[in-house]
């Protein structure tokens, strides 16, 4: 896909954001859940995804992943700052050509990939996945490998 097409797709992704968030909010309300873009939405998103994805086909599940990923990204953006972006500089970047949140942490260049996180949740449906993913991304722990380095 050309860079021009990718940027056009990304613009469309952002353009329909409000409608997608509103539709998800409405679906949550129908099921007795409230989505408010707070960090408490992380557990509510998992519960709602479980309810909405039960027994659906792969195309519907993929569409749900995108909708829920949008909301997850907005939770991070609203609570930690940052903005949506689409990395196009390095084809080896695992997030190349995918919508991510950047600027949400003090670590330069760190990308939060909400659609990837939602896809991971959809595969395992392990409670707490979204909170752990967000926490690991906004407060990454330094990994000390010095004991493995030969002098």
Fold of 3-139: 1.20.120
SS3 labels along 72-83: HHHHHHHHHCCE
Strand ordering across the sheet containing 83-85? 83-85, 100-102, 111-112
Q: What is d(CA 56, CA 74) in angstroms, rounded to the nearest whole number?
A: 25
Q: What's the average pLDDT block by block, 10 residues per block, for the chain (151 residues)?
A: 86 92 96 97 98 96 96 98 92 90 91 97 96 93 79 58
Report the pLDDT value the prediction gives residue 20, as an integer from 0 to 100. 93
Domain ranges of the chain: 3-139
The Cα angle at residue 48 between residues 123 and 116, in degrees rounded to 5: 40
Q: What is d(CA 134, CA 4) in angstroms, rounded to the nearest whole number?
A: 30
Q: What is d(CA 144, CA 29) in angstroms, rounded to the nearest whole number?
A: 45
Report the pLDDT value the prediction gives residue 149, as an integer from 0 to 100. 80
User: With contact defined as beta carbons under 8 Å apart, do 67 and 23 qualify?
Assistant: yes
Please state whether 56 falls in left (phi above 0), alpha (psi between -120 and 50) or beta.
Answer: beta
Report the pLDDT value the prediction gives residue 30, as an integer from 0 to 100. 97
Report the pLDDT value the prediction gives residue 151, as an integer from 0 to 100. 58
Q: What is d(CA 96, CA 86) in angstroms, rounded to the nearest whole number?
A: 7
């Amino acid at each position: 896909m050309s860079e021009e097409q990718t940027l056009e797709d990304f613009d469309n992704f952002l353009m329909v954001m409000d409608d997608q968030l509103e539709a998800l909010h409405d679906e949550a309300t129908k099921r007795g859940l409230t989505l408010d873009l707070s960090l408490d939405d992380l557990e509510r998103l998992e519960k709602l995804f479980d309810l909405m994805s039960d027994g659906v086909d792969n195309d519907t599940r993929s569409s749900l992943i995108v909708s829920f990923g949008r909301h997850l990204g907005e939770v991070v953006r609203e609570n930690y700052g940052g903005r949506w972006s689409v990395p196009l500089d390095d084809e080896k970047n695992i997030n190349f050509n995918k919508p991510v949140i950047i600027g949400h942490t003090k670590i330069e260049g760190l990308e939060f990939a909400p659609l990837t996180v939602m896809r991971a949740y959809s595969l395992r449906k392990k409670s707490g996945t979204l909170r752990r993913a967000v926490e690991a991304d906004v407060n990454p722990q330094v990994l000390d490998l010095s004991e493995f380095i030969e002098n």
